[in-house]
Amino acid sequence: KAEPGPKYPRSLPSLPIIGSLLHLIGNRQFHLLFHSLQKKYGSLYSLQMGSQYVVVVNHYLHAKEVLLKKGKTFAGRPHTVSTQILTKAGCDPVFIGIKALPVFTRRQRHRGTNILSLTENLSGQRCLGTDVKTYFQSLCITPHIVSVHTCHNASNDQCDPGFLSWVTRGLLQYVTVMSPPQQRLCSQLAPQSHVGIFWMGRGQPRPIRSPQRMLSLRPPLTPAVLPPLQEALGSDSANDLMDALLRTQLSMENNSQLAPPLQLTDDHLLMTVADIFGAGVETTNTVLKWAVLYLLHYPEVQRKVQEELDQKIGFERHPQLSDRQQLPYLEATISEVLRIRPVSPLLLPHVALTDASIGEYTIPKGARVIVNLWSLHHDEKEWDTPEEFNPGRFLDDQGKRLFSPSPSYLPFGAGIRVCVGEALAKMELFLFLAWILQRFTLKAPPGQPLPTLEGKFGVVLQAQPFKVQVRLREAWRDGV
């Protein structure tokens, strides 16, 4: 009897050249579309983006196979023409440095109060404006600057002035302008950035003017920036990410056996630091916006968070990272925000580095695999009324924190490609929300309807612009 041939996932209909585009066009919310297509095609199916074979995963068992069990096999990322140009032909982030980020983040645990005092300086003391976007953006940038480089000779965590100006005058502008043009560029081929990125496989027609223009915006690591940092490299141990990168660069330069391609160039350094800002600022800022939006819709949740803060922290001091354990309801609220509106609802695309399989299905080498986190976080078999915002899901009967009430919860991905900023992001979210809600009550401005909870799919799942009224709490005013 003949062996059965390979079994491929069911596929959406496709046409030559345009692939399955006709089935995707007009729908801008790809996570929702991919979620709904399960009814017809099952939880694992494929589609064709131009010449690119794409597999969509909607169930946690398959997702865990891709990310954890076969993490190395599916660890590839797509190479696109724009990323090639932007990274100067492969000066990708330096993973020695990037993967070391959690270490520096752990060290920062002891510096929580310093992050907090920096956020205080930014906030203009007691009054928050209604421009949530700008406020949160500046709030989120600060810990990244601290995490990437702090001047360790200073008594508190202050940045080297040259480095700070390089970040604020050049790098942040570069990172903020990077997303919209990239989106525009991609939208010439497909309506949304994720799909655009998938579409931009090698050998396809593509406009390259924008990435080149973006490249010209990249702030060079001038002599004013690097030498002071190199001089400061005194002790043996690396204190922050910049230290680790510079130390590695130095030891590679001194190793005569390493040919130039193995040297760590200034471009590697720049791209690594740019990546920390690019990947970290918009994500954390977006989660904060979603958190505020849900607190406007669910005032009883806001009240409970404030009651917990009042009881456990009071009004005499700021919340600190060491308070996380005694504020389970706030932690549960953050977890629920990350579930209900995952910032990266399709993760980042993964690529099969060899021929492989997911469940009973054969997956060819080079296939792009999209893990639809939205489907995992809204699976009705795993979550009771998934569209309801209920932090209580993340608490047990005694009110203690449950870290993962369902295996279908992966807001930061998992395995070899897990988000390297997870610890830092959780610290930031905790401190910002604790600090804000200790002092302020958030409401929709009077006479205005509650803002929509519908997201906008793009580089991240954005909340639509909204305004918020911020009131200093009576209890806080009386307490200080």
Residues interacting with ligand HEM, by CB under 6 A? 67, 98, 101, 275-276, 279-280, 283-284, 287, 343-344, 347-348, 411-413, 417, 419-421, 424-425
CB of 444 to ligand HEM, least distance (A): 24
| Beta pairing partners, 442 | 470
Contact 295, 362 (CB under 8 A): no
CB of 156 to ligand HEM, least distance (A): 21
Q: Which lies closer to ligand HEM via its Cβ, residue 240 or residue 275?
A: 275
Q: Which lies closer to ligand HEM via its Cβ, residue 14 or residue 166?
A: 166
- CA atoms of 132 and 285, how far apart (whole Å): 9
Q: Which lies closer to ligand HEM via its Cβ, residue 96 or residue 444?
A: 96
| Beta pairing partners, 462 | 456
CB of 411 to ligand HEM, least distance (A): 5
Q: Which lies closer to ligand HEM via its Cβ, residue 48 or residue 108?
A: 108
- CA atoms of 382 and 299, how far apart (whole Å): 26
Q: Which lies closer to ligand HEM via its Cβ, residue 351 or residue 475?
A: 351
Task: Fill in the amino acid letter for 74.
Answer: F
Pairing of strands 52-57, 368-371: parallel
- CA atoms of 80 and 184, how far apart (whole Å): 15
Question: Does the annotation flag 140 for ligand binding?
Answer: no
CB of 384 to ligand HEM, least distance (A): 23
**46 SS3 class:** strand
CB of 219 to ligand HEM, least distance (A): 19
Contact 52, 19 (CB under 8 A): yes
| Radius of gyration, alpha carbons of the chain | 23
Contact 147, 111 (CB under 8 A): no
- CA atoms of 242 and 253, how far apart (whole Å): 16
Which 3-state string (H, E, C) describes 272-341? HHHHHHHHHHHHHHHHHHHHHHHHHHCHHHHHHHHHHHHHHCCCCCCCCHHHHHHCHHHHHHHHHHHHHC
Short-list 345, 292, 298, 336, CA closest to 455: 345
Quick count: other Cβ atoms within 10 Å of Cβ 179? Answer: 15
CB of 309 to ligand HEM, least distance (A): 21
Q: Which residue is nearest to ligand HEM (CB)?
A: 421
CB of 305 to ligand HEM, least distance (A): 18
Beta carbons within 8 Å of 143's beta carbon, 6+ residues apart: 108, 115, 118, 424, 427, 428
In degrees rounded to 5, what are phi and psi of residue 475? Answer: -60, -40
Q: Which lies closer to ligand HEM via its Cβ, residue 319 or residue 411?
A: 411
Q: Which lies closer to ligand HEM via its Cβ, residue 64 or residue 206?
A: 64
How far is C-alpha 302 from the geometric centre of its chain's CA atoms? 24
Q: Which lies closer to ligand HEM via its Cβ, residue 286 or residue 302?
A: 286
CB of 272 to ligand HEM, least distance (A): 9
Binding site: what residues are annotated? 419
- Residues annotated in a binding site for heme: 419
